[in-house]
Structure 1
Amino acid sequence: MSETTDVKRLSVFKTYKLYVGGKFPRSESGRVYEVSDSKGNWLANAPLASRKDARDAVVAARKAFGGWSGATAYNRGQILYRIAEMLEGRREQFVREVGEAEGLSKSKAAAVVDAAIDRWVWYAGWTDKVAQIAGGGNPVAGPFFNLSTPEPTGVVAVVAPQDSSFLGLVSVIAPVIATGSTTVVIASESAPLPALSLGEVLATSDLPGGVINILTGKASEIAPSLAAHQDVNAIDLTGAGHGSDLARDLEIAAADNLKRVLRPSASPDWTAPQGTERLTAFLETKTVWHPTGSLGASGSAY
């Protein structure tokens, strides 16, 4: 019996979910919103995260912080590099999604994805080197060593760039986790699919659940609860817009528990080489005094 070759298959549409605590929950509210390409063609329904989803993500990030910040810098670098390997393996998927999201040709989308993967590798290489540029020995008068070392600040909320769905996203979250903090990121509202696909990569990598938590929806709805959350230690306002009312309101809310705030720049160029500013933006400095000479034999520190 011969097989028929003219049977038309039904399309299998992908279901996108949030990425919180290493799992893929639906939005607590059950809401979704339509995502379209640059020409207005429907692509998918993305989950519309609520303030409850944001609070759940903070709980997951705080739970993961102890283990992630306590890991060796070398181990964090290995895990970040493994993520880059997996991104490379799914390169074609990201090229398609970035091209659709940002209205780019296949060749331009491929260049963006390649740059994002290379940037992830770049930050992976910094995990065990940032202490050398952000810390050091301090000259003091007396028989003491005085050493300053950088430490991760804690849970960092990130409003991701709106116009760079993948390269900009990588540029804001990779330095946060490379230095030992955990993050809750609000992806681009108009182009969230590359971020949600990144969550699928993270879930099957060696990255512990909760280190990166990805929310999609309206930054104007989700970000205020993160900015005011007492268990969030810092916030990156990059995607809130330079000089916008939202950025101003978030900065005011963040002052309640003295969060570190990274203000948005006017027109960031995500294709430009990255410096170390984002690596050091969410680090605290711990200074230790230690006696030298005969006093140092006891190993006491102050």
Structure 2
Amino acid sequence: MSTPEPRLPVLKTYKLYVGGKFPRSESGRVYDVTDSRSTWLANAPLASRKDARDAVAAARKAFGGWSGATAYNRGQILYRIAEMLEGRRDQFATEVAAAEGVSRNKALARTDAAIDRWVWYAGWADKVTQVAGGANPVAGPFFNLSTPEPTGVVALLAPQRSSLLGLVSVLAPAIVTGNTAILVASHEAPLPALSLAEVLATSDLPPGVVNILSGNTAELARPLAAHQDVNAIDLAGAAPELATELEVAAADNLKRVLRPTTDTDPHTPWTADPGTSRLLSFLETKTVWHPIGT
């Protein structure tokens, strides 16, 4: 019996996720995604500055509808995404294992933690107003009420080492409060982010609320930090030198900046209790005065 000829594997070529669609990179570029042992896994799109601008336009278009949705509705949509993540748990665990070079059991544990964290943030949708808002005591016959409102369009640089849990930890709190997002995936480990795009596309999330780009983090982050229609930027995935450069660019257009946390260990700080700091980072406070009486 003859030995069968070895076959060439057909590796998947992913696309960007912009405005609820899956376009190729405007430049047509892709790059090789490899695992911790340099095994070729897939091809990822190498997004350009034009792709970043298109993602901002899509996020801005979606902002009115998403920020105007009820908190209950946003929470239900995020719960639905968690259900779909649970259904693809094995796939995400495989991608986490390849990206982070950990055992199957550790990858499953990190995947479960990411899904649980998504659920945790979903539960905050209709509760954050009670924490961040309130009635203020004032001298005079007035009600003085403060309520949190979303900042607007937020650019998120996903952590480079924590491919799924870190990704969820920056994305979920930004959108649950009514912001829309442009997420720049980890350059070396983009597959969990690109697979998440496939989940979002078939969920109830409106197009444009989340836009996912893969490629060179610095190349994409610079135009996002300087873009006048981006209201805030999370530098979680930026190296220290790049973070400083982006802070300067963001200051020129008065953009809100969330400074990066230490990302040298794939476990820290993403496995820690998330608290409410990221949940409150991209909220503005609106205060309303109203006379007491009829």
Shorter-chain TM band: over 0.9
Structure 1 distance, partners of 2:219, 2:10, is 31
> What are the within-5 Å matches in structure 2 for residues 23-34 of structure 1?
23-34=21-32
Structure 2 distance, partners of 1:196, 1:53, is 15
Structure 2 distance, partners of 1:130, 1:7, is 60
Q: TM-score, normalised by structure 2?
A: 0.95
Deviations 1:44-98 (A, max 9, x none): 1110000000000000000000000000000000000000000000111101111
The correspondence for 1:96, drawn from 82, 94, 97, is: 94
Q: Secondary structure at the match of 1:239?
A: coil
Gaps of 5+ in 1: 1-5, 298-302
Cα distance 1:249–1:8, how it changes in 2: closer, same or farther (>3 A)?
closer
- Specify the code of the residue in structure 2 equivalent to 1:245: E
Cα distance 1:10–1:245, how it changes in 2: closer, same or farther (>3 A)?
closer
Structure 2 distance, partners of 1:116, 1:90, is 12
Structure 2 distance, partners of 1:200, 1:213, is 11
- Specify the code of the residue in structure 1 equivalent to 2:222: P
Deviations 1:129-153 (A, max 9, x none): 0001100000001111000000000
Q: Secondary structure at the match of 2:284?
A: strand
Q: CA deviation at 1:99?
A: 0.5
Q: 1:107 corresponds to which residue?
A: 105
Q: CA deviation at 1:11?
A: 3.7
The correspondence for 2:211, drawn from 198, 210, 213, is: 213
The correspondence for 2:260, drawn from 247, 260, 264, is: 264
Q: 2:122 corresponds to which residue?
A: 124
Q: 2:67 corresponds to which residue?
A: 69
- Specify the code of the residue in structure 2 equivalent to 1:113: T
Structure 2 distance, partners of 1:94, 1:277, is 26
Deviations 1:152-198 (A, max 9, x none): 00000011100011100000000000000000011000000110000
Q: CA deviation at 1:266?
A: 2.7
> What are the within-5 Å matches in structure 2 for residues 51-66 of structure 1?
51-66=49-64
Q: 1:292 corresponds to which residue?
A: 292
How many residue pairs are counted as aligned between the two chains?
287
Q: Secondary structure at the match of 2:251?
A: helix
Q: 1:176 corresponds to which residue?
A: 174
Structure 1 distance, partners of 2:201, 2:114, is 18
8 Å contact kept, 2:11–2:43: no
Q: Which has the larger radius of gyration?
A: 1
Q: Secondary structure at the match of 1:272?
A: coil
Structure 2 distance, partners of 1:41, 1:7, is 21
Deviations 1:181-235 (A, max 9, x none): 0000110000001100000000000000100000000111110000000000000
8 Å contact kept, 2:152–2:180: yes
Gaps of 5+ in 2: none
Report the identity percentage: 76
Structure 1 distance, partners of 2:50, 2:94, is 32
Q: CA deviation at 1:9?
A: 6.9
8 Å contact kept, 2:225–2:250: yes
Deviations 1:3-51 (A, max 9, x none): xxx7987644322011111110000000011111000111111100000
| 1:245 and 2:241 correspond | yes
RMSD: 1.2
- Specify the code of the residue in structure 1 equivalent to 2:50: K
**Mean Cα deviation higher: 136-145 or 13-22:** 13-22
Structure 1 distance, partners of 2:69, 2:96, is 33
Structure 1 distance, partners of 2:159, 2:261, is 11
- Specify the code of the residue in structure 2 equivalent to 1:273: D
